């Protein structure tokens, strides 16, 4: 069973608890104080890690793309470049946030949106690096990232299964310290597009931990992902869904995130074993309400028990488990029995 080692104490996959990433992304509005509040909120919500997005704009985008007009209610500038420059923290701000997260006591990382950002994140020694869906077709980058031998969490939005296989082959040729996240890149994702059962296919196909990065509204789908075996879960976190920015609408508030973490842990605890058996906690109910075999009428020693003579009731004291009904009928009573008396082994032959 492949496990991905994030720190000496934290491993992902196998029987380890689901690794829950609070994706602060760019919900900080370009304001480091809001970013710190998001880090704190992620910690208080019980997330395993808080994550931002690191971009070197001229590495990720062409000049022309950065010059294109970005005129919409979520924009922080006239052009896409102005918008992204407003949202991008400097390297020294990243170091400050990393340090703050350490003080708060939560793992900190970012998605590397390009090779320059990847190198920076390796350099500051984040515990793992996320590669977002924007790079799920960027095989050159994935190969480069894999060659650096740091743990990776790779999202697979915007591509099909064939491409995901290629990602798996490229990265696993270098090492198996990576996870693959099923993801649909829409903000928000319509529920009917989530295709959560892809997770089962990923589990059957790939020999690395799989998880889910969800951009749909609410927490129900994310919880479904846990039930389907997600070992990593990523959801956006925001201080306020009505803030300006593309991702706030499909993010969770700190209170919602906290509830999500609690619910994830409940589902994990409840998945248990696929072996159906009677468990200890059922014994009081068995004693109180499970039915057993009793006499349906008064009969004497030597008489035959016909179907109507044996009843199934909640009884005190109990008779044989009612599952044995068929084994009792047409047997001969060894003792006299009154109506409602329990029928036990040894009472018939
Ligand atoms: C695919 C991808 O990178 N998606 C990211 C992760 O989910 C998003 O957070 C984008 O950065 C965000 O939606 C971009 O918004 P705008 O373009 O308004 O800055
Ligand atoms: C784009 C990202 O993630 P995802 O593809 O999982 O939404 C990211 O983490 O930057």
pLDDT tens digits, 143-161 = 999 999 999 999 999 999 9
In the listed set 271, 305, 335, which residue is the last one of a domain according to the structure?
Answer: 271
Q: In terms of Cα–Cα distance, which of 5, 201, 30, 238 is closest to 212?
A: 201
What residue numbers bound the domain in which 343 lies? Answer: 277-349
19-31 pLDDT, tens digit each: 999 999 999 999 9
Residues 262 and 340 in one domain: no
Q: Which atom of ligand 1 is nearest to the CA of 215?
A: 7
Claim to verify: residue 191 and residue 316 sit in the same structural domain: no
Residue 5 predicted with pLDDT over 80? yes
Residues 78 and 60 in one domain: yes
Q: List, for residues 175-186, the tens digit of each pLDDT value.
A: 999 999 999 999
| Cα distances (angstroms) measured from residue 86 to each of 80, 115, 233, 332 | 10, 21, 28, 89
Ligand 1 center from residue 92 Cα (angstroms): 22
- Total structural domains within the chain: 2
Instruction: Provide the ipTM.
Output: 0.98
* CATH of residue 88: 3.20.20.70
Identify whether residues 235 and 314 lie together within a single domain: no
Q: Which pLDDT value is given to residue 264? A: 98
Same domain, 335 and 240: no
The CATH number of the domain where 285 resides is what? Answer: 3.90.1210.10
52 & 184 share domain: yes
The residues lining ligand 2, judged by C-beta closer than 6 Å to any ligand atom, are: 53, 111, 130, 132-134, 155, 157, 181, 183, 185, 213, 215, 234
Among the three residues 222, 248, 271, which one is the final residue of a domain in this structure? 271
Say if ligand 1 is within 6 A of residue 185 CB: yes
Output the six-digit token pair for 100.
């703050």
**Pick from 252, 271, 290: which residue ends a domain?**
271
The pLDDT of residue 1 is above 80: no
Q: Are residues 107 and 212 in the same domain?
A: yes
- Tell me if 93 sits within 8 A of 39, measured CB to CB: no
Which pLDDT band holds residue 278 (cuts at 50, 70, 90)? very high
341 and 243, same structural domain? no
Give the number of the ligand closest to the Cα of residue 52: 2
Are 95 and 208 found together in one domain? yes
Q: How confident is the model at residue 284 (pLDDT cuts 50, 70, 90)?
A: very high
């Amino acid at each position: 069973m492949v496990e991905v080692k994030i720190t000496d104490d934290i491993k992902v996959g196998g029987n380890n608890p689901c690794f829950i990433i609070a994706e602060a992304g760019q919900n900080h509005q370009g304001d480091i104080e809001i970013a710190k509040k998001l880090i704190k909120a992620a910690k208080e919500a019980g997330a395993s890690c808080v994550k931002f997005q690191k971009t070197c704009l001229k590495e990720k985008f062409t000049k022309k793309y950065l010059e294109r007009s970005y005129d919409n209610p979520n924009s922080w500038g006239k052009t896409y470049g102005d918008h992204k420059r407003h949202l991008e923290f400097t390297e020294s701000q990243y170091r400050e946030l990393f340090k703050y997260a350490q003080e708060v006591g939560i793992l900190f990382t970012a998605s590397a949106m390009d090779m320059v950002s990847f190198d920076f994140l390796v350099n500051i020694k984040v515990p793992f690096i996320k590669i977002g869906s924007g790079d799920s077709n960027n095989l050159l980058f994935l190969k480069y990232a894999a060659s650096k031998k740091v743990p990776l969490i790779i999202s697979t939005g915007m591509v099909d299964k064939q491409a995901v296989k290629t990602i798996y082959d490229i990265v696993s040729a270098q090492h198996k310290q990576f996870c693959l996240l099923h993801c649909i890149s829409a903000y928000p994702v319509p529920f009917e597009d989530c295709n959560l059962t892809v997770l089962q296919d990923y589990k059957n196909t790939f020999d690395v931990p799989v998880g889910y990065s969800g951009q749909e509204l609410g927490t129900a789908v994310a919880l479904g992902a846990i039930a389907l075996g997600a070992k990593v879960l990523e959801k956006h976190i925001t201080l306020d869904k009505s803030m300006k920015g593309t991702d706030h609408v499909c993010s969770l508030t700190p209170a919602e995130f906290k509830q999500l973490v609690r619910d994830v842990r409940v589902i994990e605890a409840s998945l248990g074993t696929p072996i159906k058996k009677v468990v200890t906690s059922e014994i009081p109910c068995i004693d109180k309400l499970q039915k057993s075999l009793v006499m349906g009428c008064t009969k004497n020693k030597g008489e035959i028990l016909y179907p109507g003579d044996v009843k199934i009731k909640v009884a005190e004291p109990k008779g044989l488990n009612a599952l044995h009904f068929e084994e009792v009928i047409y047997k001969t009573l060894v003792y006299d029995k009154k109506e409602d008396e329990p029928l036990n082994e040894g009472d018939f032959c």
